[in-house]
A and B are shown apart, each in its own frame.
Chain A
Amino acid sequence: MNGNIYHNRKAQWVAYVAVFVLLALVPTVFDNPFTLNQLARYSVFALLAVSVSLIWGFGGILSLGQGIAFGLASYGMGMTMQMQFQNPEYDPIPSFMLTNELETLPLLWEPFLSTPVGLILTILVPTGFFVIFGILMFQARVAGVFVAIMTLAMLAAWYSMAYDMQPFTAGFNGISPPLPLQIFGGEVDPYSPLAYWICVGVLATLTLATKALLHTKFGLIVQAIRDDAERARFLGYNVAYYQVVVFAISGFLAAWAGLCWVMIVQYVSPTSMEIAFSISMVVWAAVGGRASLLGAIIGAFMVNGIQSYLGDELQQVWMLILGAIFIGVVLFLPRGIAGLLELILSKVPFGRGPSGAQWSAETGTEEKAS
C-alpha cells in the first residue's frame, strides 16, 4: 500500500504557498483595475469560505451566521472610513445623520474618530460577539441543526437591527465613505494593485496561520470533538471551551473579510448580513471541500467566477443555480473538489513502504526537524 501525496504535510504546504504566490503575481499580468478589484472581492469571499471550512469542516459546527462577524466588521470599517472624511471641529457629523435629525455624533460613533481605534474595534467587536454567542450556545450543549437555526436567527436579528437603526447606520441606504481608506500617510485606492495585495496578503496570512493551528494538538482535538464530542468529554476535555475558541477564531477570520471588503468597495449596507449571503459562504466551502482550507478557497473563486460570467437573465435566478450546484455537490461530491483531488491522487503511487512505515517517515522525522 502506498501513501497519498494529498496527505503529505510538506506537499500541502507547497500547494498552499504556490496558490498564494500565483495570486500575488496576478497584478504583474493583468493591469485592468476592474479585474483586479473583482479578484480582490473573490479573495474576500475565499476568506469567508475558509472561516466556514474551519468551523464546519473541522469543527463540525454548521454556522449559518458567519455574516454576523462579516457584517459587524463591515460596519466598523465603514464607520472608520466615514470618520476619516469628517472633521472633528468643523464637520463632525456624517450627512446622513443630519438628514435623520441627529445633532451630535452618537456615542457609538465617537471611537471611530480615531483610525487605529476604529480598525481595532472592527476586528475586536465581532470576535468578542462570537465569544459571547459561542459561550451561550456551547455551554448549553446546543449542537447540530440547532446551532444552524440559532446562528441564522441571530443573523436575521442583526440584519433587521442594521436596517432599522436608520440614524446610526443609514438603514437600507448604507454608508458610503466618500474617500478611500487613508492609512500610513497614503490612501488605498480600491482599484489599485495595493488594495488587491492587501486582500490577498490577509487571505494568505490568515489561511496559513489557520492551517498551522490545525496541525497543532489543538487542531486535532477540535476534529476529535467534531467526530464524537462525548468521547472527548470523557477524556477530560472541556468540549464547550474548545468550541467557543474555534467559533471565535472563525468569527475573527470573517471579521477580517469584512474589513477588507469595505476597503475595496467603499460601501456597507445591511446586505452584508443578508441570510442568502451567509448561506452562499457555506455553499462555496462545500463545493471546494469543507475539510480543506485550500479547497474552500478554490470553491469560493470557482462559484463566484461562474456567477460573474453568467448572462443577465441567469443572474435573476442565481440563487436557484447556486442551490442546484449545492445539491449536486452533496449528492455526487460530498467532499467537494478537494475530495475529488484526494481520490485522484490516491491512484498515484507516492512514498514508500506500508502505511505504518510511512507514518514515521512523514510525520515523525519531518516534525522533529521543524
Chain B
Amino acid sequence: MTSVLELKGVTRAFNDYIAVNGFDLTVNEGELRCLLGPNGAGKTTSLDLITGRQKLTSGSVHLRGNDITHMSEQQIARQGVGRKFQVPAVFKELSVKDNFEVAFTRERGPFANMAVMRRSDGEARYNEIIEIVGLGDRLEVPAGLLSHGETQWLEIGMVLMQDPSLLLMDEPTAGMTEQETAKTSDIFNELKGTHTLIVVEHDMSFVREIADIITVMHMGSLLAEGTISEIENNSVVREVYLGSEGIS
C-alpha cells in the first residue's frame, strides 16, 4: 500500500506549551482514519499543521512522497487537500449556490477567472453534490441564514465540490441530529476507497460506523492506534477517557 500522508515527529510549540509533540501518522490510499482524543489533545492543531494554517516547530509532512511542510495553505489545497473546519466556515453573504460555485475551483488565478462568465460552470458537479448533501431547496438562501446543521452540510458539500483526494474533517457531525449523523456516515463510507479521509470525531457510535483504523491522541502525542476493538479494549485509552466506562 502507498501512503498518502506521512507525518514524522510533527511538533508545534506555543511558547512553553507544546500542543503537538513528536506526532507520527501514516495514512494509506483510500483509507478512512479516525482521529480521537480528549479536548485539547491537539487534533485540530495537527490538521492546522498538515494544511499549512500553522507552521511546524519541527518535524515534516509528506503528501504522496512530496514534502509539503513549508507550503502555504493554498499550495497545499491545490495538491488536493480539502478541509472542513471545526467551527463551520462558509461565505455567509453569498447564496448556497454561490458557495458551491466558489468551491468549484477549476481555475485559480484572478485573471483566468475574469474570463469565466457563466457561474453555472460547476452546475453538473453541484447537482451531484446536492444529491449527496441535500440543500437543493435552499440554493438561493444566503449561507448566513442556514441552521447549524445545514451549515455543516454546506461546508462538507463545498469540500466535495473542491474534489480533493485527501479530505480532513474536523468534527463534521457536531450539532447534527441522529438522522443527519447517519447520513454523514453513509457519505463517508461512499467516499472511502476513492478518497482518503481523516475524520476527527467524538461520537463513538459514528466512529464505529465509518472507521478502518483509529488513531488516539493525548497531550499532543500518539497514544494508541488500531482497529475499533483494539482501541476499545486498550486499557491506557480507557484510563485517559476516565474510568471503566470506555470511550463512549
- Name A's B-contacting residues (CB within 8 A): 3, 213, 215-218, 220-221, 223-224, 226-228, 230-239, 241-242, 245, 354-356, 358-359, 363-364, 367-368, 370
Contacts and interface: CB of A to CB of B under 8 A. Distances in A.
A234 B82 CA distance: 7
B137 interface: yes
Given A216-B115, A356-B136, A363-B120, A237 B105 contact: yes
A228 B73 CA distance: 14
Nearest to B99: A224
28 contacts: A215-B117, A215-B119, A216-B114, A216-B117, A217-B117, A218-B116, A220-B98, A221-B110, A223-B91, A224-B94, A224-B98, A227-B90, A227-B91, A228-B89, A228-B91, A230-B73, A232-B102, A233-B72, A234-B53, A234-B82, A235-B103, A235-B162, A236-B77, A239-B74, A359-B139, A363-B119, A364-B120, A367-B118
Contacts of B92: 227-228
Contacts of B141: 355
B230 interface: no
B107 interface: yes
Interface residues of B, number: 45
Given A216-B114, A234-B51, A221 B102 contact: yes
Given A220-B102, A223-B91, A238 B117 contact: no
A213 B83 CA distance: 29
Given A216-B116, A231-B85, A235-B77, 4 more contacts: A3-B140, A217-B121, A238-B108, A368-B118
Of A226, A234, A354, which is in contact with the most chain B CB atoms at under 10 Å from its CB?
A234
A367 B161 CA distance: 22
A265 B158 CA distance: 52
Interface of B: 51, 53, 72-74, 77-78, 82-83, 85, 89-94, 97-99, 101-103, 105, 107-111, 113-121, 123, 136-137, 139-141, 158, 162
A55 to B, nearest CB: 14
Contacts of A234: 51, 53, 73-74, 77, 82-83, 89
B140 A358 contact: yes
B237 to A, nearest CB: 31
B227 to A, nearest CB: 31
Nearest to A60: B93
B7 to A, nearest CB: 19
B121 A236 contact: no
Contacts of B110: 218, 221, 241-242, 245
A218 B112 CA distance: 8
Given A216-B113, A356-B136, A367-B119, A223 B94 contact: yes
Nearest to A236: B77
A241 B109 contact: yes
B94 A356 contact: no
Contact of B113 (A221, A233, A355): A221
Contacts of B98: 220, 223-224
Contacts of A226: 93
A230 B158 CA distance: 14
Contacts of B82: 234
Nearest to A241: B110
A53 to B, nearest CB: 15
A227 B108 CA distance: 18
Contacts of B97: 359
A145 B223 CA distance: 43
Nearest to A360: B120
User: 9 tightest CB-CB pairs across the interface, nearest first?
Assistant: A355-B140, A236-B77, A217-B116, A227-B91, A218-B113, A217-B113, A231-B89, A218-B114, A224-B102
A366 to B, nearest CB: 10
Nearest to A226: B93
A369 to B, nearest CB: 11
A233 to B, nearest CB: 4
Contacts of A218: 110-111, 113-114, 116
A93 B74 CA distance: 53
B162 A236 contact: yes
Contacts of A368: 118, 120
A110 B111 CA distance: 34
A235 to B, nearest CB: 6
Nearest to B95: A359
A215 B98 CA distance: 11
A32 to B, nearest CB: 42
A242 B111 CA distance: 9
A213 B110 CA distance: 11
Contacts of A237: 74, 105, 108
Contacts of A356: 136-137, 139-140
Contact of A220 (B90, B101, B123, B140): B101
A71 to B, nearest CB: 26
Contacts of B93: 223, 226-227
Contacts of B83: 234
A145 B141 CA distance: 29
Nearest to B103: A235
Contacts of A235: 77, 102-103, 105, 158, 162
B78 A236 contact: yes
A242 B89 CA distance: 19
Of B83, B108, B109, B110, which is in contact with the most chain A CB atoms at under 10 Å from its CB?
B110
B167 to A, nearest CB: 12
Contacts of B90: 227-228, 231
A238 to B, nearest CB: 5
Contacts of B121: 217
A355 B145 CA distance: 14
